[in-house]
Amino acid sequence: MSNIIAFTAPTRRQYLAERIPALIDCFARQRRVQDDVFWLKENAEILNILECTGQSVPQAALEPLGHFYAGLADRIGFFPQYYRFLLSIGLDLEDLGMPGGQMEGLCDWASQRGLPDAELSDLQRAEARRLLARRGVRTTAADAGLDDRLRAFVQRTDTFALPNKKAAYELTHIVFYLSEYGRRDPMIGEAGRISLEFAGITAFLDQNVDLLAEICVALRQAGHRPNPLWVAAVRHGLASFEILEDNHAPLTDGYHEYLVSSWAMAVMNIDDPLAPVSSTRCTFARPATDSGALRGMSAALLGLADARSGSWSHMQDAIYAMLDDDAALTLSEAAAASPHFEAYFEGFARAGKTQSLARFG
């Protein structure tokens, strides 16, 4: 493992300090109503980032969420299907300074009701375990083999040499939970690091800055320094955001990319280029970018059929010839920036797969 970082609580540098009260008020009171599940998602995300980056939050800044916190027991009793969102918000509020001390009891209640036992996936069970453990509560849903299964998923590098956003986001979240958001070694090994590298190459080729930011955070939490090309792309994307005050604009905006990109900058101690935030109803927007190289690469390889090879040195000229200038530049940057690109391309090309499947026809 190279570029080891200490597995301690995150530093308390105040990247968001001037924006914290406005950000909290914006998400708590200005964008959605509290009965909207997307309100839960947005507020859980901003509070989680504030907590895990060690932000010092003035108690007055938490006041917009005071009434919600006070009614949390009734809300989780009526909406147990949202218990992970609700526990996450309550735990982060207390850890950020909200007085009350009710979360140990609510975690115990969730465990006794067996709410984590209703989860279908290991990823959700890992999240539930992590939430309850924050108040010393155990859950029977987290069996002895859970971590082994999570690491087996992470260490299957072939999965991440192909475009699969769901798998890539699950990869980052497994690292978040196993590392307790950077507080301990997630023990994903070299194969896990390469999986993150492969997922990062795909995200860069697709120009998916939201996913790329999460991968940068996950690499950092696993003890590695992210590829400088990816970090620059995340910082550039974040710097281009505009935060628009608008009472009528749709809220299907770039808020998540804004949050995770600012999170990535915080964990890497990079100067913060964030735009000012208003504690009003606002949307998070950045200019449209080019579509990247991923789709063009896939189309080129599919069109080559039996002529395609898993060798990047043999295939690059044919692929570049089928891409427009912007896509070719993106691909060239990705290939030059990663020492694992040739291994990544071997999986991405899927050469010989059609022939090997013929015997099943």
Q: Domain check: are 213 and 332 in the same one?
A: no
Q: Domain check: are 281 and 356 in the same one?
A: no
C-alpha–C-alpha distance, residues 98 and 69, integer Å? 9
In a domain, 356, yes or no: yes
**Residue-level pLDDT at 282:** 86
In a domain, 247, yes or no: yes
The percentage of residues in the chain with a pLDDT greater than 70, rounded to a whole number, is 90
Report the pLDDT averaged over residues 45-62: 94
**Residue-level pLDDT at 270:** 85
Examine the pLDDT at 6 and tell me if it is beyond 60.
no
Q: Domain check: are 58 and 125 in the same one?
A: yes
Q: Domain check: are 138 and 217 in the same one?
A: no
CB-based contacts of 113, cutoff 8 Å, min separation 6: 80
Contact 175, 147 (CB under 8 A): no
C-alpha–C-alpha distance, residues 234 and 228, integer Å? 10
C-alpha separations of 120 from 57, 61, 129, 146 in Å: 35, 36, 14, 13
C-alpha–C-alpha distance, residues 150 and 162, integer Å? 19
**Residue-level pLDDT at 275:** 62
Which amino acid, residue 89? Answer: I
- pLDDT tens-digit series, residues 224-267: 999 999 999 999 999 999 888 887 778 889 999 999 999 999 99
In a domain, 6, yes or no: no
Examine the pLDDT at 352 and tell me if it is beyond 50.
yes
**Residue-level pLDDT at 312:** 97
Examine the pLDDT at 278 and tell me if it is beyond 90.
no
Q: Domain check: are 203 and 229 in the same one?
A: yes
Of 208, 252, 267, residue with least CA distance to 234: 208
DSSP tag of 245: E
**Tokens standing for residue 83:** 């218990």
In a domain, 90, yes or no: yes
Q: Which pLDDT band, with edges at 50, 70 and 90, does 344 fall under?
A: very high
**Residue-level pLDDT at 14:** 43
Q: Which pLDDT band, with edges at 50, 70 and 90, does 19 fall under?
A: confident
Report the pLDDT averaged over residues 133-158: 96
Q: Domain check: are 33 and 92 in the same one?
A: yes
Domain count, the chain: 3
Q: Domain check: are 303 and 278 in the same one?
A: no
Owning domain of residue 42? 17-143
CB-based contacts of 330, cutoff 8 Å, min separation 6: 204, 205, 207, 290, 292, 293
Examine the pLDDT at 327 and tell me if it is beyond 60.
yes
Q: What is the pTM of this model?
A: 0.92
The percentage of residues in the chain with a pLDDT greater than 90, rounded to a whole number, is 79
C-alpha–C-alpha distance, residues 288 and 22, integer Å? 26
In a domain, 150, yes or no: no
**Residue-level pLDDT at 354:** 52
Examine the pLDDT at 304 and tell me if it is beyond 60.
yes
- pLDDT tens-digit series, residues 26-51: 999 999 999 999 999 999 999 999 99
**Residue-level pLDDT at 224:** 97
Domain boundary among 239, 260, 289: 289
**Tokens standing for residue 154:** 């992470």
Examine the pLDDT at 361 and tell me if it is beyond 80.
no
